[in-house]
Structure 1
Amino acid sequence: MNSSIRRLHVAQEEHFVHEVPGTYPRLCRLSDGSILAGFTRFLPRGQRALTVVRSTDGARTFQPHGEVTRSFGDCDNLFLLEVPPRPSAGGEPRPSAPTVLAAFRNHDLDQNGVHTYFRITVCQSTDGGRTWSYLSQAFEKPAPFGLWEPFLRMSADGKEVQLFFSQELAANDQDTMLVRSSDNGATWSARQRVTGAGEALRDGMVGLAEARYCGGHSALVLVMETTRRGTFSIEAMVSFDDANTFGFRHVVYQAKEGRNAGAPQITAFADGSVAVVFMTDEDGEGPSRWPRGATIKAVFGTFNPDGTLQWSAPQVVRNAVSCWPGIMRIADDAAVAVYESSSSIRGRVLKVATLSAS
C-alpha cells in the first residue's frame, strides 16, 4: 500500500538580503504586499544600527529602506510587526502607508562593557518602515539579569499587540514573559509568565505561529530553546485560546549528546503544518564551540490528536558557520528562512513537498 510523506524541500538558490556585516534577521509582511527585513548592522567603533530593508518581489531581493536607531550600547534583537492604524483624535486623515512597530533590546553598558540597565524598547513607523520614532518601553529593569529577544504578534481579533520576551531570573533560570497593549504599543500591561514556572531552565529565543488543528481550529504554537538536557535543545508549547494559556510542552529537537540546538523560529503553512528553523553545532568535530560553528537546519511539524506535534528529521538549510535564523511564510506551501552566514544576511526558500513511500 502506498502512502505519502510530507517534508521540506530546501531550495539550492540563496538570496542575499544584505551583504555588509549584520546579524539576527527577522521578516515582516505588510498589507501593501511588501516584505520588510530587520536586522542588526555593525558599524565602526562598536556602534550598531537596527536596519530595515524592503522587498517588493516576494523576498527575492531587498533594497535599503530605513533605520530604527543607532547605539553604542547593547542594541539588538530587532522584531517588526504591522499594526492597524490608531484612530485619529480630531478627524485627521489616517496614515496611507502601513503602521509598523519595532521592538528590540536596548541595554546600557558601563565603560568596561558590563550591563547596567535593561530595556525592551518599542518604536513606531507610520510610513511603512522608512522613518521611526520612539513609542514606549515595554519592560525595563536595572541590572543584574537581563531581558532579551522580543517577539511581537497581533491577537486573533486584531485588537491587542502581544509582546513576548525572555527574562533572566538567575544565572541558570530564564523564563518567557508576555506583556499586552490595547493601544498599538503606547502602553503595556504587567508582565505574565508564559514558560518556566517552577523549573530552573533557560527558556529563550521564543517564536510563535498560528496554525490550524483538527480541521480548522486555531492553535498557537510556541517554540523556544531550553536547557533541560544541560546543553540547549528545542521544545514547544501550544495555546488553544490565543495566548491566554499554554500547555502540551514537548520536545521538538535534541542534538546529539553534548551538542546544542537552539535559536528556533517558526512559521505555519496553509494546511496547518509548521516549519521550525534553528541552529545547531551537532555536526562539528572536536569540542563544542556553541554558538559558534553552527549549521542552520529545519524540521517539519504536524499535529497529533493529543495536542502535541510530530516532527520530521532535520534538513540542512545552510552549512556552518550560520546562525540566528528567522522564517516567514511567503505562499500557502512555502516559506523563506533568513540567517547570518559569513557576516552577511542570506536566505533560502523552504517548500512543503509530498513524497510517495511504500
Structure 2
Amino acid sequence: MDPRVRRLHIAREDHFVHSVQGTYPRLCRLSDGSILAGFTSFLPGGQRALTIVRSTDEARTFQSHGEVTRSFNDCDNLFLLELPTKVGAGTSTILAAFRNHDLDRNGAHTYFRITVCRSTDGGRTWSFLSQAFEKPAPFGLWEPFLGMGADGREVQLYFSMEIAMDDQDTMRVHSSDGGATWTTPRRVTGGGEALRDGMVGLAEARDCVRGSGALILVMETTRLGTFSVEAVVSFDDGHTFGRRQVVYEARKGRNAGAPQIAAFADGSVAVVFMTDEDEYGEPKWPRGAKIKAVFGTLMPDGRLLWSPAQVVGDAMCSWPGIMRIADDAAVAVYETSASIRGRILRVGT
C-alpha cells in the first residue's frame, strides 16, 4: 500500500469526557495498564492546581486521583512520565514536569522554572524533586516534554526558552539519576533563526521501508509570521536532528500550532494541532480554533509524508494532547468550553 494514501478514521463520538474546567491535558500510560491524565484546573481566587485523574477503562472514564501542586503564581504545562520499573522492584516512579513561574503583584513574571516532582504511589501524592532549569526574568521557559532515551535509563526533557520577544528555541536537558539532577541545556532547534519555536512533541517512529527507528520532533514556529507546524528528525536518539520540514501550514494570515505527536505500532505517526484557518473575520488566535490531525509516514531519507488534515474537534477547542492506546489507534484530548474531551484516531485508508 502506498503510504501517501493512508489517513486517519476519526470517531464521531467523544471518548474522553471530564466535566471540569481545565486546560492543557496530557496522558500517560502506566505499567499497570491504567492511564493518568494531567491538566491545569482553575480554582477560586485565582489559584491553579495541577490535577491528576486516572482511568482503568482505556481513557473512557476518569476518576479523581491526585494533585501535583497548587499555586497562585503561573503553574501550567504539566507533563507526566513513568520511569521504567525493574522486575520485582515493586512501586514505580512517575515524574511530573511543569512550568512554575513567579509573578509580581501586577501579574508580571519575575522568575522562571521548569520544575520536576516525583510520585512513588501511582500518582496520588507528589513531592518536589528538582529544578530542571531556572532563570530570572526577562524571557521565559515553557512547555516541558519528558521522554526516555533509547538506553531506557536516561530521562530526556525538552522545553521552550525565549531568547528575545521574537525568538524562542527548543532546549534539551537530560538526567542519569531519575530526574534528581540535570545537564546544562543544549539547543535543539532555533539556532541562527529568529523564530518562536515552541510546544514541542516527540515520538519514536520507523521508516516505512527499512524499519529503521527515528525520533520525530514537532513544534509550532513563526516562519510565516503567523504560526505553522514544522518537524525535525533524529536517527541518533536526539543527539542531532536533520533539516526542518513542514508538517502543516494554515491558509494565509491564519495559524496552526500547539502540535503533539504519537506513533503507531507500525512506526507511522499522527500529529494533532489547533488551527483557526476555518474562522471568518479578524483572527482571534488562539481563540476560535479547531483541533485537526494529519497522518504521517517516515521515508528512509528522513522526509515525512503527510495526509490532508482532518477535523478532530470543532471550534473553540485548544491545547491538544495525544497518546497511542492500541497498535493502530490513538486518543486525542483537548480543552473545549467547560470540559476536557477526546476522540479516537485510527489508522485507515
TM more than 0.5 = yes
Please state if 1:53 is matched with 2:47: no
Please state if 1:320 is matched with 2:315: yes
- 1:15 corresponds to: 15
Please state if 1:238 is matched with 2:238: no
Report if aligned partners of 1:248, 1:308 keep a CA contact under 8 Å in 2. Answer: no
1: CA distance, partners of 2:4 / 2:279: 33
2: CA distance, partners of 1:73 / 1:345: 23
What pairs up with 1:137-286 in 2 under 5 angstroms? 137-213=131-207, 214-286=209-281
2: CA distance, partners of 1:2 / 1:18: 38
1:109 to 93, 103, 108: 103
- 1:65 corresponds to: 65
2: CA distance, partners of 1:3 / 1:71: 47
- 1:336 corresponds to: 331
2: CA distance, partners of 1:46 / 1:210: 38
Give a deviation string over 1:275-330, Cα, whole Å, max 9, x none: 00000000001011000000000000012342110111100000010000000000
2: CA distance, partners of 1:160 / 1:303: 25
Report the CA distance between 1:335 and its aligned residue: 0.1
1: CA distance, partners of 2:161 / 2:2: 48
Q: Secondary structure at the match of 1:246?
A: coil
- 2:27 corresponds to: 27
Report if aligned partners of 1:23, 1:343 keep a CA contact under 8 Å in 2. Answer: no
Report the CA distance between 1:249 and its aligned residue: 1.1
Report the CA distance between 1:212 and its aligned residue: 0.9
Look up the equivalent residue of 1:317 and give its one-letter code: V
Look up the equivalent residue of 2:183 and give its one-letter code: S
Give a deviation string over 1:25-64, Cα, whole Å, max 9, x none: 0000011111110000010011000001111111111111
Q: Secondary structure at the match of 2:244?
A: strand
2: CA distance, partners of 1:71 / 1:86: 34
1: CA distance, partners of 2:3 / 2:145: 38
- 2:80 corresponds to: 80
1: CA distance, partners of 2:198 / 2:331: 22
1: CA distance, partners of 2:11 / 2:237: 33
Gaps of 5+ in 2: none
2: CA distance, partners of 1:22 / 1:156: 33
Give a deviation string over 1:176-221, Cα, whole Å, max 9, x none: 0000000000000000000000000000000000011233211000
Look up the equivalent residue of 1:326 and give its one-letter code: G
1:133 to 122, 127, 130: 127
Q: Secondary structure at the match of 2:243?
A: strand
2: CA distance, partners of 1:273 / 1:79: 23
Report if aligned partners of 2:190, 2:197 keep a CA contact under 8 Å in 1. Answer: yes
Residue identity (%): 76
Report if aligned partners of 1:219, 1:239 keep a CA contact under 8 Å in 2. Answer: yes
Report if aligned partners of 1:32, 1:98 keep a CA contact under 8 Å in 2. Answer: no
TM-score (norm: length of structure 1) = 0.95
Give a deviation string over 1:110-163, Cα, whole Å, max 9, x none: 000000000000000001111100000000000000000000000011110000
- 1:90 corresponds to: none
Look up the equivalent residue of 1:25 and give its one-letter code: P
Q: Secondary structure at the match of 1:177?
A: strand
Look up the equivalent residue of 2:117 and give its one-letter code: C
Query: 1:4–1:295: structure 2 CA closer, same or farther, 3 Å change rule?
Result: closer
Report if aligned partners of 2:4, 2:307 keep a CA contact under 8 Å in 1. Answer: no
- 1:36 corresponds to: 36
Cα RMSD for the two superposed structures = 1.7
Query: 1:310–1:110: structure 2 CA closer, same or farther, 3 Å change rule?
Result: same
Look up the equivalent residue of 2:345 and give its one-letter code: L
Report if aligned partners of 2:52, 2:68 keep a CA contact under 8 Å in 1. Answer: yes
Number of residues paired by the alignment?
348
2: CA distance, partners of 1:17 / 1:40: 15
Report the CA distance between 1:20 and its aligned residue: 1.2
Query: 1:3–1:324: structure 2 CA closer, same or farther, 3 Å change rule?
Result: closer
Gaps of 5+ in 1: 88-92
2: CA distance, partners of 1:17 / 1:26: 14
